[in-house]
């Protein structure tokens, strides 16, 4: 079974045949003078920077490497982020189509984290290249196994740096968060970054930042502003040469350790002594540990007096603890509960939940007009919803405490979960179509057992509603989930339960409010037809999940899940036929059910398709280094963090982002559209989400061309909202 579905893809087979055919004439020629692959492409590695592996290739003359044929496989205890590769030379290859190639040298970097106790950085580096003059020959893919010593304390630092969820959880509970690279908890902001300003003359200011050992300040995350200046303005700060630093979030940046003094010219200041208010906003980090939010200090300067003014935090930044590269969470528990209740209520209208609600609607109609039956439906459905949200919340909190990050809907990043859910939706659809009857009594065991099957079905429907609702993000949910993902355990659990109450609220109203129940139509023969019609949304949901799986793992995974679905349909068909038969027929049902699990168990072994195959024209794939370069060049950037399983993301793309109006807006503002695909697990995108305290996707951030902080948009976009944000960013 595995050889049929988990082997090389057809595209790889055709590619290999093509390269072989290209090489056959060459093998018949004289090949003297061709270098061994490791001499033609000399690879060296540098693991001296914690959390970042630097790779360098020295390429011999007349040789080149393919950018798209580079692959990196982590060893035990190592998790690799997105490789930062430079742009290559584009041309059309006879066998590979449009490609990018490298000549002479390549410098690349790969962010990584290691598990606790890991002492060596092990990974495989695969690459492929060709000799471009006679004899023209392409080498087969070559893999080098790297085994490097980690830098001092890197095993602990990178593992802790990747555990943003755990660190944020400790901070949310009011505890201390030890930094990833040190053994001490981060200092309060005013102790970690002391800010002073000196008016040396009416035309010159001197700004000074002082940091204790192990802390650094970002140069390009600093903004200065005069308030109530009466015509005075600041010129460009004269920053001294800093330290080049490979930052896991922003790529290569300039930072300052210990102390930095920055002269700033002042023009238009009033003659003679007089007060000026200077507002400085900046950001820094504990080396190898957590980063602080943007800090704002305000100082009063007496121009001409020569007095030093010490910056004090403004009211919005006075008591903020350090967090992972993002702003603080100011939502109260009461506000988070209100947002969760409203978000859960609106979640009923999202397209991902409607197919499951159709099942519940049929159940309520079948119960007739009995008030007691309606109440039972509502209560057991609500119990299923609340239990599912409680389990989801407890699971997230447990993983957060263990040092793992988990976002809203991230269970659909696992191909096995997607495949199982697709089969469940297919089984429910077949039940509604009448192929199989779940919950009926086996044989003639009595009405009591049949009645007990009803509440179980209602409970299961509530569970299924929560599972299918998780790819969606309704309005108001963002703030509530952001609070829940960093709040103390009890508060977070209350937020998840409030989401469940909101989701179950319509059916609670039907069960307990007679005026609402009167709106329901009377039961009749038409209900069986309605049930069969409502099976088709379930089939459409199954098709959507298979499409998600195709984008995650390609055609091999689709083949596996389709085989599983055929076996599942056969199992259900024979299950119906075996109701009145003997033990042998029931044993056949069990054997078919076990056979269904075999292809599903192979899903996790299918590798993801190459990133190059998913590149979209006009969209720049997200990378922290490229974002930093665009911002440094003064280019406004619209960052879209999305996933194929996120229904809200796809709705926003259809209505706003995949429209001529949006493309014209990008051209008019000179903005770059950058997209991060979180369909599969991606540590770089997870870090960006953590930076903005986003519990999941979608996340939309607009970065202005003046280098200011990014502006986070609502999870549900409108054309006017996006146009206003990009227009402001381009000013």
Site of tokens 């051209």: 667
List, edge to edge, every strand of the sheet that includes 295-302: 223-227, 275-282, 295-302, 312-313
**pLDDT score of 718 more than 80:** yes
Q: Which two tokens stand for residue 360?
A: 């519940």
**pLDDT score of 67 more than 80:** yes
The predicted structure's pLDDT at residue 335: 80
Confidence of residue 672 (pLDDT cuts 50, 70, 90): very high
The predicted structure's pLDDT at residue 636: 94
Answer yes or no: are the C-beta atoms of 206 and 303 closer than 8 Å. Answer: no
DSSP assignment of 241-272 equals P-EEEEETTTEEEEEEESEEEEEEEEESPPSS
The predicted structure's pLDDT at residue 5: 38
The predicted structure's pLDDT at residue 210: 87
Average pLDDT for 514-521: 70
**pLDDT score of 290 more than 90:** no
Beta strands 259-267 and 312-313, pairing class: unpaired
The predicted structure's pLDDT at residue 523: 61
Confidence of residue 669 (pLDDT cuts 50, 70, 90): very high
Average pLDDT for 169-177: 34
DSSP state of 613: G
Q: Which two tokens stand for residue 106?
A: 């390549």
The predicted structure's pLDDT at residue 17: 39
The predicted structure's pLDDT at residue 154: 41
DSSP assignment of 398-428 equals HHHHTT----BTGGGGSHHHHHHHHHHHHHH
**pLDDT score of 338 more than 50:** yes
Report the percent of the chain where pLDDT is more than 90.
10
Q: Between the CA of residue 425 and those of 64, 213, 343, what are the distances in Å? A: 49, 57, 24
Question: Taking the complete model, does pTM exceed 0.85, yes or no?
Answer: no
**pLDDT score of 64 more than 70:** yes
Element containing residue 123 per DSSP (H, E): strand 120-127
Confidence of residue 665 (pLDDT cuts 50, 70, 90): very high
Domains and CATH numbers, the chain: 2-157 (2.60.40.1250), 189-313 (2.60.40.1250), 611-729 (3.40.30.10)
Task: Please provide the distance, in angstroms rounded to a whole number, between the alpha carbons at the two ends of the chain.
Answer: 59
The predicted structure's pLDDT at residue 722: 94
Range of lowest pLDDT (268-272, 314-318, 578-582): 314-318
**pLDDT score of 71 more than 50:** yes
Range of lowest pLDDT (186-190, 241-245, 325-329, 546-550): 325-329
Q: What is the pLDDT of residues 453-501, one digit of tens each?
A: 467 778 888 887 887 776 666 666 666 666 666 667 788 888 889 988 9
Average pLDDT for 9-13: 42
**pLDDT score of 443 more than 60:** no
**pLDDT score of 304 more than 60:** no
Q: Give the range with max mean pLDDT: 432-436, 484-488, 634-638.
A: 634-638
Confidence of residue 675 (pLDDT cuts 50, 70, 90): very high
Each residue of 273-304: b (16+ CB within 10 Å) or e?
Answer: ebebebebbbbbbbbbbbbbbbbbbbbebebb
Element containing residue 385 per DSSP (H, E): helix 371-401
The predicted structure's pLDDT at residue 102: 92
**pLDDT score of 30 more than 90:** no
**pLDDT score of 258 more than 60:** yes
The predicted structure's pLDDT at residue 364: 65
Cβ neighbours for 660, distance < 8 A, ≥ 6 positions apart: none
The predicted structure's pLDDT at residue 6: 40
The predicted structure's pLDDT at residue 453: 45
The predicted structure's pLDDT at residue 12: 46
The predicted structure's pLDDT at residue 656: 93
Answer yes or no: are the C-beta atoms of 310 and 299 closer than 8 Å. Answer: yes
DSSP state of 66: E
DSSP bridge partners of 308 = 198
Q: d(Cα 407, Cα 695) in Å, to the nearest integer?
A: 5
Backbone φ and ψ for 135, nearest 5 degrees, come out as -80, 125
Q: Is 369 helix (H, G, I), strand (E, B) or coil?
A: coil
Range of lowest pLDDT (104-113, 262-271, 387-396): 262-271
The predicted structure's pLDDT at residue 178: 33
Instruction: Give CB contacts under 8 A, 24+ apart, made by 514-518.
Output: 514/371, 517/369, 517/371, 517/374
**pLDDT score of 538 more than 50:** yes
The predicted structure's pLDDT at residue 257: 86
The predicted structure's pLDDT at residue 3: 37
Report the percent of the chain where pLDDT is more than 70.
72
**pLDDT score of 561 more than 50:** yes
The predicted structure's pLDDT at residue 600: 84
Q: Is 510 helix (H, G, I), strand (E, B) or coil?
A: helix
Average pLDDT for 307-329: 43
Q: d(Cα 307, Cα 551) in Å, to the nearest integer?
A: 62
Q: What is the pLDDT of residues 563-596, one digit of tens each?
A: 989 988 888 888 887 776 778 877 888 888 888 8
The predicted structure's pLDDT at residue 268: 73
The predicted structure's pLDDT at residue 703: 92
Range of lowest pLDDT (136-145, 219-228, 516-525, 660-669): 516-525
- For the four alpha carbons of 585, 588, 589 and 590, in that order, the dihedral sign comes to positive
Q: d(Cα 408, Cα 343) in Å, to the nearest integer?
A: 13
Q: Which two tokens stand for residue 565?
A: 């679905």
The predicted structure's pLDDT at residue 522: 65
Q: d(Cα 706, Cα 415) in Å, to the nearest integer?
A: 41
Q: What is the pLDDT of residues 678-715, one digit of tens each?
A: 887 777 887 788 777 777 788 999 999 888 888 889 88
Q: d(Cα 352, Cα 645) in Å, to the nearest integer?
A: 10
């Amino acid at each position: 079974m595995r050889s049929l579905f988990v082997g090389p893809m057809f595209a790889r087979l055709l590619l290999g045949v093509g390269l072989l055919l290209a090489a056959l004439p060459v093998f018949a020629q004289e090949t003297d003078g061709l270098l061994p692959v490791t001499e033609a492409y000399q690879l060296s590695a540098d693991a001296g920077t914690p959390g970042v592996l630097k790779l360098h290739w020295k390429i011999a003359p007349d040789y080149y490497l393919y950018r798209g044929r580079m692959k990196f496989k982590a060893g035990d205890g190592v998790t690799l982020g997105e490789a930062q590769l430079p742009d290559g030379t584009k041309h059309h290859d006879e066998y590979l189509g449009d490609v990018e190639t490298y000549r002479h040298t390549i410098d690349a970097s790969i962010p990584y984290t290691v598990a606790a106790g890991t002492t060596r950085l092990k990974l495989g580096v695969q690459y492929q290249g060709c000799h471009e003059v006679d004899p023209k020959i392409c080498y087969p893919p070559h893999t080098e196994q790297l085994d490097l010593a980690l830098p001092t304390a890197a095993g602990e630092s990178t593992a802790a740096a990747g555990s943003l969820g755990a660190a944020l959880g400790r901070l949310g509970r009011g505890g201390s968060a030890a930094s990833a690279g040190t053994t001490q908890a981060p200092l309060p902001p005013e102790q970690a970054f002391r800010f002073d300003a000196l008016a040396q003359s009416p035309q010159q200011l001197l700004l000074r930042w002082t940091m204790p050992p192990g802390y650094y300040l970002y140069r390009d995350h600093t903004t200065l502003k005069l308030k109530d200046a009466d015509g005075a303005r600041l010129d460009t700060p004269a920053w001294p040469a800093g330290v080049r630093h490979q930052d896991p979030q922003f790529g290569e940046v300039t930072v300052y350790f210990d102390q930095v003094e920055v002269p700033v010219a002042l023009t238009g200041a009033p003659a003679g002594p007089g007060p000026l208010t200077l507002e400085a906003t900046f950001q820094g980090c504990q080396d190898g540990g957590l980063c602080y939010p943007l800090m704002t200090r305000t100082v009063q300067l007496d121009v001409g007096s020569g007095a030093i003014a010490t910056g004090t935090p403004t009211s919005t930044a006075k008591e903020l603890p350090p967090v992972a590269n993002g702003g603080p969470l100011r939502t109260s528990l009461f506000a988070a509960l209100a947002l969760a209740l409203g978000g859960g209520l609106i979640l009923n209208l999202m397209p991902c939940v409607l197919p499951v609600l159709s099942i519940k609607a049929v159940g309520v109609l079948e119960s007739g007009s009995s008030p007691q039956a309606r109440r039972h439906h509502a209560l057991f459905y609500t119990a299923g919803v609340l239990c599912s949200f409680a389990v989801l919340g407890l699971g997230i909190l447990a993983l957060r405490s263990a040092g793992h990050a988990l976002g809203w809907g991230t269970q659909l990043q696992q191909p096995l979960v997607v495949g199982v859910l697709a089969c469940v939706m297919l089984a429910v659809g077949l039940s509604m179509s009448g192929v199989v009857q779940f919950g009926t009594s086996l044989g003639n065991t009595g009405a009591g057992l049949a009645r007990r099957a009803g509440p179980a079905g209602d409970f299961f429907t509530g569970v299924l509603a929560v599972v299918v609702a998780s790819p969606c993000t309704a309005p108001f949910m963002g703030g509530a989930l952001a609070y829940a993902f960093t709040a103390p355990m009890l508060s977070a659990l209350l937020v998840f339960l409030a989401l469940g109450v909101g989701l179950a609220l319509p059916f609670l109203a039907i069960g307990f409010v007679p005026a609402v129940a009167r709106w329901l139509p009377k039961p009749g023969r038409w209900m069986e037809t309605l049930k069969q019609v409502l099976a088709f949304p379930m089939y459409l949901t199954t098709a959507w999940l298979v499409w998600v799986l195709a984008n995650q793992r390609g055609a091999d995974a689709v083949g596996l899940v389709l085989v599983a679905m055929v076996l599942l349909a056969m199992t259900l068909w024979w299950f119906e036929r075996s109701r009145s038969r003997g033990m042998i027929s029931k044993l056949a049902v069990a054997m078919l059910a076990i056979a269904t699990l075999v292809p599903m168990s192979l899903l996790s072994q299918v590798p993801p398709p190459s990133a190059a195959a998913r590149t979209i024209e006009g969209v720049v794939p997200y990378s922290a280094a490229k974002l930093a370069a665009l911002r440094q060049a003064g280019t406004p950037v619209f960052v879209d963090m999305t996933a194929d399983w996120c229904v809200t993301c796809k709705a926003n793309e259809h209505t706003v982002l995949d429209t001529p109006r949006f493309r014209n807006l990008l051209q008019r503002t000179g903005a770059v559209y950058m997209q991060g695909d979180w369909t599969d697990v991606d540590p770089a995108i997870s870090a960006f989400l953590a930076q903005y305290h986003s519990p999941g996707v979608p996340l939309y951030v607009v970065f202005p061309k003046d280098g200011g902080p990014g502006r986070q948009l609502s999870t549900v976009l409108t054309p006017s909202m996006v146009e206003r944000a990009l227009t402001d960013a381009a000013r």
